[in-house]
Amino acid sequence: DAKTTQPTSMDCAEGRAANLPCNHSTISGNEYVYWYRQIHSQGPQYIIHGLKNNETNEMASLIITEDRKSSTLILPHATLRDTAVYYCIVKAAGNKLTFGGGTRVLVKP
Amino acid sequence: EADIYQTPRYLVIGTGKKITLECSQTMGHDKMYWYQQDPGMELHLIHYSYGVNSTEKGDLSSESTVSRIRTEHFPLTLESARPSHTSQYLCASGLAGGLPETQYFGPGTRLLVL
C-alpha cells in the first residue's frame, strides 16, 4: 500500500472549517483513501473513504486531487469534540489497514 | 453504530498470570483484528482473522495468541503476562470481500502488568 504523509499537528478554531491535508504521491489506481480518527483513549472511528471522486457524509468531506496524489479531509464546522488524531490511510480493497502517526488536531474555543 | 465489545476495559494483573482479553461483535463480520497501541504511539496490527478457524499474525510480533472458533468471538490470550505487555489492546471487525472495507473498533482494553 502507498505511504502517506500528514502534518504532525494542527490547531483550528471552534466553529470554523478544519482542512486536514494528506500526501500520497505513490498511490496506485486500485487504492482507496481512508480517513479514521482516534479520540483520546478510544478506539479509532471510521470517517470517510474515496477512490477518485470527492465524497461527503454526515461527518466530513473528502477532496481528492485529480491526479490522486493528495487529498484533504474537511470538517465543516469543527467542535471541541473533534479534537483527535486523524489518520489518512491508503490501501487497496482487501488489504489490511496500516496506521501511521496521523495528525493531532486540537480544536480551540 | 458499531456493535463491537471488549472486556475487560481495564485490567491490572501480576507478572506470570494468564489472561484472556475478550472481543465480540454482533454484526456478522468475517474479518476481525487485534491491534496494540502504547500511549501516544501508533497502532500496530498483532493478529487478524478472516473467518472461523482462520488466524494470522500481524505486522508486529506479539507473544499473545488468538482463536476464532465462532464468527462473533475473537479472544486474545497471554499465557504468562509480563510488564512489557502493558499496553492498550484494540479489537476491530470488518466485512470480507473485495469491496472497500470499513473497520469498526471496540473501546479497547487497557492492560497493566505489574
pLDDT in the model for residue A93: 74
% of chain B at pLDDT higher than 70: 94
Judged by CB atoms closer than 8 Å, whether chains meet at B100 and A41 is answered as no
Q: Cell 473467518: give the residue.
A: B51
Whether pLDDT at B97 is above 70 = no
Closest CA of chain A from B108, distance in Å: 6
pLDDT tens column, A14-49? 999 999 999 999 999 889 999 999 998 789 999 999
Give residue B1's pLDDT band: very low, low, confident or very high (50, 70, 90). Answer: low
Assess whether pLDDT exceeds 80 at residue B98. Answer: no
Q: Which chain A residues contact residue B33 at CB under 8 A?
A: 96
pLDDT on residue A55: 95
The mean pLDDT of B2-19, rounded to a whole number, is 94
Check CB contact under 8 Å for A94 and B42: no
Which member of A38, A46, A101 has the closest CB to residue B103?
A46
Please report the pLDDT score of residue A15 as a whole number.
96
Torsion A106-B105-A90-B40 (CA) sign: positive
Those residues with Cβ within 8 angstroms of residue A70's Cβ, 6 or more apart along the chain or in another chain: A21, A22, A23, A24, A25, A64
Interface test with A, best of B101, B104, B109, B110 (most A CBs within 10 A): B101
How large is the average pLDDT for residues A52-73? Answer: 96
Residue B61 predicted with pLDDT over 80: yes
Residue B101 sits at the chain A interface (C-beta within 8 Å): yes
Q: What is the secondary structure of chain A as a DSSP string?
A: ----B--SEEEEETTS-EEEEEE-TT--TTEEEEEEEE-TTS--EEEEEESSS-EE-SS-EEEE-TTSSEEEEEESS--GGG-EEEEEEEEETTSPP-----EEEEEE-
Residue in A with minimal Cα distance to B48: A96
| Percentage of chain B modeled with pLDDT above 90 | 80
pLDDT of residue A10 exceeding 90: yes
State mean pLDDT over A84-97.
88
| pLDDT score of A92 | 82
B42-49 average pLDDT score: 93
Point out the least confidently predicted range of B29-33, B38-42, B87-91, B99-103.
B99-103
Upper half-sphere CA count for residue B30 (Cβ side, 13 Å): 9
Question: Is residue B99 packed enough to be buried (19+ CB in 10 Å), middle (13-18) or exposed (0-12)?
Answer: exposed
Q: Using the beta-carbon criterion (under 8 Å), do A46 and B102 form an inter-chain contact?
A: yes
Does the structure show a pLDDT above 90 at A57?
yes
pLDDT at B13: 96
